[in-house]
Amino acid sequence: MTHRLIFFLMCQCLWAVHGFAKEVVIADNGRSPYKIVIPANGSGSCKKAADVLHDYILRISGADLPVATEGKRLPEHFIAVGGISAASGKISLEGLLADAFQILAADGNVYINSVAPDGLQHAVYYFLEKYAGCTNLAGVVTLPKTKSISITDGTNDKQVPAFQYREVYYPAAKDPEYCAMHGLQKFEDLWGLWGHSYDKLVPAKTYFRTHPEYYAQVAGKRQATQLCLSNENVFNIVVATLRKKMEDNPDAVYWSVSPNDDIGYCECEKCKAVDDREGGPAGSLITFVNRVAKLFPEKKITTLAYGFTHRAPKSLVPGANVYVFLSDIDAYRDKPLAEEGSAAGFRNDLRAWRALTPNIYVWDYITEFTNYLAPFPNWNTLQANMKFFRDNGVKGVFEQGSGDTYSEFAELRSYLTAKLLWNPDCDIEALRAQFLKEYYGIGAAPFIKKYMDLIAEKMTASKRKLDIYGNPVNEFDSYLTPDLIETYGGLFDKAEAEAEADPERLERVVRCRLPIEYTVYQQARFYGIEKHGIFVKSDEGAWAVRPRMREKLAAFVASCKKWGVTELSEGGLSPDDYQADWKKIFDGGVTPNKALGANVTLAHPFAPDYPAKGNRTLTDGNPGYADFSYNWLCFYGVPMQATVDLGKATACSTISFHFLDDPRHWIFLPSKIAVEVSQDGKKYKPVATLHPQEQEEHYNMTVTPFQAAVPAGNVRYIRVTADNLEALPEWRVRPNKKPMIACDEIFVQ
């Protein structure tokens, strides 16, 4: 009796056991009667997909299935990859999206086919995942323990993605195989020109000096912020640049013609006329993009509804080959977009754009850009948001995570969003449970799940807003309190103990803990000389760095570098830069301050969005750092007039403080600073009037120190008045924005 006959009889036995649900046993323990067949005129993509199937079946079962081209006579048992003639009438994919595919088991054979040849590879990986038990969770392929591969005869599995464009911007998606298994795409493969593109099409460094008229007229002056879209030469340069780029990259599907990531759209007479007619700057944008798109009808031209172009024109219809990328950047993430109050504008914009065009993509955000490692418990909104996109006619989604750098739960977020992009109705909890169990181990998974559920619960209960530009420091009294951090740490302790016998999974658990460690270090800057802070006072009264903090910080930085954290924020702060910042803090020590803990009275309210420690911020002993959202007291459009009560007459020699200069966030040095002192709090004597250097255009962030000498004698009250700029500098003008000043501490020595 031949091996093939034995194998066939074994299959018959399996069919009998299962009654009518006959199992097609493709391979078992190194044996298979099957061949893989591809069409005679099959593409390279078809052969590549067949090779993937062959390779995995061999790795799983040990069976070596030959790959053959379809001939006049088919093998007795076969798996068809691609549209072989024998599949005619069996597989129907007519009218479906290009990435749709079908897996059919009929009469003991298996047919795998897709609408487009490029989709075959995903179809094969889907088959391997669902019917053979393979997984690829984060670029790590896991094969099933069983050496048998089978599918029920009569299976007709038709898969149609919810969106035609699906991208998850996380490190795992750098792996082509990971993308193929999860049906993901990459803008590098599809776009000839991506994102903000004006400066790539008409570079300011090339043209602005000699042709300022090519650029936006803002407040009466030409600036290199955006393009003047009514200028005919600008149109001609854009078309010529695109034509050359398209010749160099003929396979690219999409080409972006989109504003720079900056403010300052053109207000010249011609542009303004169009914008006034259409209700906003999207009018001149779509007018221009439509003209460009008309010259390239075979290409898809994309543009951004973002910032000043978020609002749809009143009636101007985007061209048939124009695709609008709508951003939801202004929405908080603690609630689904369908419910979140701050997303009302996005919802209105989506409805308005959809009334004009069916070609809407969404640029969505699922990480905290200012602190990639910060805890960001938004996983309870992921599925609801994806359903909202689908139900409102969105055709594609770019899920912007942390890009190439590791961030909090990057592996899990990448996996779950990939599944949701294909099918928003998938069982997300089952997928999460599977991921946690396989990636972190059966023992560790329950503790990581408990951590995820607990921090999400505490965030919701706190009613705090989850901001993609937030900071873990500011959650010190909500879902990231010291007590809760200790509880979270205990759960990770238990997870690590469960994973201890498995070094690979233990490393994953330890990496998963980095966000809690990062929070502790960031909050230490906020607490400063207080409990949980950086410095402690010895019995002799001297300040010193908290014991072992230097060593722990060094270990944290080493872990970041080991596990793929290349940037801690969107601004590009590397782990080495972070450690260098800390060295300055450690080495700088604590500045003596006779005003420490003194009562502060303010004549004008501070900016409520950045409360820091309220009035106490100015006398808590902690200097400000590179982030204005904590340790700085900010005053928006009003002066800072702070009166410090030292409690009693005190001998003083100098009064010093820092102001932040951060134009990117509309924070500028004061126009004037006045320092006064008083004995009784009624009569004040001027000590100094300081005039910071006049603001010139720049976008650097600097901390600028100021100091005033105090004449001999005792004082009790100190009043510092810092005047805000009367208006924003012309190079940083933005509607509905005012200048802001930020002061960190009033030091008295």
DSSP assignment of 374-408 equals S----TTTHHHHHHHHHHTT--EEEEE--TTS--T
Going across the sheet that includes 109-114, the strands are 67-69, 35-38, 78-81, 109-114, 101-106, 156-159
Query: What does DSSP assign to residue 526?
Result: H
Residue partners of 575: CB distance under 8 A and separation at least 6:
557, 560, 561, 565, 566, 568
CA 619 to chain centroid: 36
Give residue 119's pLDDT: 87
Judge whether residue 430 has pLDDT over 50: yes
Which string of DSSP letters, residue by residue, matches 313-375?
PSSPPPPTTEEEEEE-TT--SSS-TTT-GGGHHHHHHHHHHHHH-S-EEEEEE-S-TT-TTS-
Residue 437 has pLDDT above 80, yes or no: yes
Q: What is the mean pLDDT of residues 227-249?
A: 98
Judged against a pLDDT cut of 60, whether residue 294 lies above it is answered with yes
Q: How confident is the model at residue 261 (pLDDT cuts 50, 70, 90)?
A: very high
Q: Higher model confidence: residue 633 or residue 89?
A: 633
Average pLDDT, the chain: 94
The pLDDT score that the predictor gives to residue 21 is: 66
Give the least confident one: 16-25, 163-172, 457-466, 527-536.
16-25
How far is the C-alpha of 455 from the C-alpha of 721, rounded, in Å? Answer: 42
CA distance 415 to 411: 6
101-115 confidence digits (pLDDT tens): 999 999 999 999 999
Decide: 75 and 37 in contact? Cβ < 8 Å. yes
**Cα–Cα distance between 334 and 330 in angstroms, integer?**
13
- Statement: residue 14 has pLDDT above 60: no
Of 173, 56, 219, 17, the residue nearest 730 (C-alpha): 219
- pLDDT in the model for residue 16: 42
Q: How high is the pLDDT of residue 17? A: 44
Domain 599-748, CATH among 1.10.1740.10, 2.60.120.260, 1.10.40.30, 2.40.50.100: 2.60.120.260
Which of the four pLDDT bands, split at 50, 70 and 90, describes residue 1? Answer: very low
Second CATH level (architecture) for the domain 187-426: Alpha-Beta Barrel (3.20)
Q: How confident is the model at residue 20 (pLDDT cuts 50, 70, 90)?
A: low
- pLDDT tens string 303-362: 999 999 999 999 999 999 999 999 999 999 999 999 999 999 999 999 999 999 999 999
Give per-residue pLDDT as tens, 677-733. Answer: 999 999 999 999 999 988 888 889 999 999 999 987 899 999 999 999 999 998 888
Cα–Cα distance, 161 to 188 (Å, whole number): 21
Residue of 157 and 15 predicted with greater confidence: 157
Per-residue buried b or exposed e for 224-261, using 16+ beta carbons within 10 Å of the residue's own CB:
bbbbbbbbeebbebbbebbeeebeeeeebebbbbbbbe
Query: Which of 60-64, 374-378, 597-601, 625-629 shows the lowest per-residue confidence on average (mean pLDDT)?
Result: 625-629
Q: Could you please report the per-residue DSSP string of 78-100?
A: EEEES--GGGTTT---TT--TT-
The yes-or-no verdict on residue 84 having pLDDT over 90 is no
Residue with tokens 């700057």: 281
User: What is the percentage of the chain residues whose pLDDT exceeds 70?
Assistant: 97
* pLDDT single digits (tens) 640-650: 999 999 999 99
More confident residue, 40 or 340: 340
> Average pLDDT for residues 157-173, to the nearest whole number?
96
Answer yes or no: is pLDDT of 424 > 60. yes
pLDDT of residue 157: 95
The 3-state DSSP class for residue 206 equals helix
Q: Is the pTM of this model over 0.85?
A: yes
The span from the CA of 79 to the CA of 37, in Å, is: 6
Instruction: Please say whether the beta carbons of 410 and 571 come within 8 A.
Output: no
d(CA 399, CA 393): 17
Q: Residue 216: beta bridge partners?
A: 223
The percent of residues in the chain predicted with pLDDT above 90, rounded, is: 87
Contact by Cβ (8 Å): 132, 144:
yes
pLDDT at 625 over 80: yes
Mean pLDDT for the stretch of residues 134-161: 93
Residue range 510-529: mean pLDDT, rounded: 97
Instruction: Considering the domain delimited by 3-160, tell me its CATH architecture.
Output: 2-Layer Sandwich (3.30)
Domain ranges of the chain: 3-160, 187-426, 427-527, 535-590, 599-748
> In the predicted model, is pLDDT for residue 15 greater than 50?
no
| pLDDT over 90 (residue 72) | no
